[in-house]
Amino acid sequence: MRTGPGPGTMRALVGSDTLRTELCMTEPTSTGNAGPVSDRETGTHRQGPAGPGRKAVAEPEPHHPQGLAGRLNALWAGVLGANDGIVSTAGLVVGVAGATSSRGPVFTAGIAGLVAGAVSMALGEYVSVSSQRDVERTLLAIERTELQEFPEEEIAELAALYEAKGLQPATALQVAQELTANDAFAAHADAELGIDPQELTNPWHAAWASLIAFTLGSALPLLAVLLPPAGWRVPVTFAVVLVALALTGALSAQLGGSKKAPAVARLVIGGALAMAVTFGVGRLVGGSVGG
């Protein structure tokens, strides 16, 4: 995407997180064949073109399977949906349980909260991800147009991006030219926008993941508050919810590559506070109304 002046085009530049091009610098030997190449980034030692006494090296497998980004998106939506279902429904049923010992009102409030929350989460994810996909499509359309109208300027811009990442100007230009010759649209979309045209976000995946996860998460506190005797409902619900929150916190930390202890602590403490507050409100309001 061009950054310089151009006729009526909107400029946007999104840096790619990673340079997905492997550079192999070879030194000629006395026989004219390329010598060994060390790949410091991957820790491998590769040979140049096959020749006498040399073995051809197979093409490396892709680091990430096709569709991984979409699956991670749906998985993230599922984890967050489950967490929201656990906390919101637990707070609701514990609050009602603080006001009355009757199962009927607790069950009604829990089911209503489950349905309303699941629909709200699914709709929110669908709208949010649809908006993200619309933006991605718009940026890709602009990039495709600029590649057709200003091909030389686009190559120069791509080379400048790689040069900014630390490549020498000549090497950056060579990389830009080779990537453009191979698949111009994919190369420029990745480097300039950070978008894979083949893996646009899917709003339906995120919506269904949130709907199912919220429903499953809500079922835990709902069952925990309904099954035990009246005197044990709140303590059992507290225990079940805190264990479930610890598990979702650990899973979210693992997906994000962060430390598990802080993530678990945040969720457990936040969930405990939410239930304590709603229980206290239920006791206070229930006692006032009952009196």
pLDDT tier, 89 (very low <50, low <70, confident <90, very high otherwise): very high
Q: What is the pLDDT of residues 8-36, one digit of tens each?
A: 333 333 333 333 333 333 344 434 444 44
pLDDT the model gives residue 268? 93
Instruction: Please tell me the distance from the alpha carbon of residue 258 to that of residue 272, in angstroms, as a whole number.
Output: 22
Identity of the amino acid at 223? L
pLDDT the model gives residue 81? 82
Torsion-angle region of 243 (φ positive above 0: left; ψ -120 to 50: alpha; else: beta) = alpha
| pTM score, whole prediction | 0.63
Residue that is written with structure tokens 């999104």 in the block: 14
Residue that is written with structure tokens 């998985």 in the block: 75
Evaluate if residue 238 carries a pLDDT over 50: yes
pLDDT the model gives residue 98? 87
Instruction: Please tell me the distance from the alpha carbon of residue 158 to that of residue 1, in angstroms, as a whole number.
Output: 8
Rounded average pLDDT over 63-85: 66
pLDDT the model gives residue 253? 85
Evaluate if residue 57 carries a pLDDT over 90: no
Residue that is written with structure tokens 């009927």 in the block: 104
The chain-wide mean pLDDT, for the chain, equals 77
pLDDT the model gives residue 288? 64
Rounded average pLDDT over 138-167: 90
The residues near 188 (Cβ < 8 Å, ≥ 6 apart) are: 1, 143, 147, 154, 158, 180
Rounded average pLDDT over 1-11: 41
Instruction: Please tell me the distance from the alpha carbon of residue 191 to that of residue 121, in angstroms, as a whole number.
Output: 33
Evaluate if residue 3 carries a pLDDT over 60: no
Instruction: Please tell me the distance from the alpha carbon of residue 244 to that of residue 184, in angstroms, as a whole number.
Output: 47
- The helix-helix angle for 151-164 and 169-188 (nearest 10°) equals 120
pLDDT the model gives residue 110? 93
Residue that is written with structure tokens 């709200």 in the block: 120
Evaluate if residue 237 carries a pLDDT over 90: yes
DSSP one-letter string for 126-166: HHHHHHHHHHHHHHHHHHHHHHHH-HHHHHHHHHHHHHHTT
SS3 67: coil
Instruction: Please tell me the distance from the alpha carbon of residue 35 to that of residue 27, in angstroms, as a whole number.
Output: 6
pLDDT the model gives residue 29? 40
SS3 45: strand
Evaluate if residue 78 carries a pLDDT over 80: no
Q: What is the pLDDT of residues 93-118, one digit of tens each?
A: 999 988 888 889 999 999 999 999 99
Of 201, 189, 191, the residue nearest 146 (C-alpha): 189
Rounded average pLDDT over 152-173: 90
Rounded average pLDDT over 30-59: 40
pLDDT tier, 68 (very low <50, low <70, confident <90, very high otherwise): low
pLDDT the model gives residue 70? 55
Spacing of C-alpha 62 from chain mean position: 19
133: buried, middle or exposed (CB in 10 Å: 19+, 13-18, 0-12)?
middle
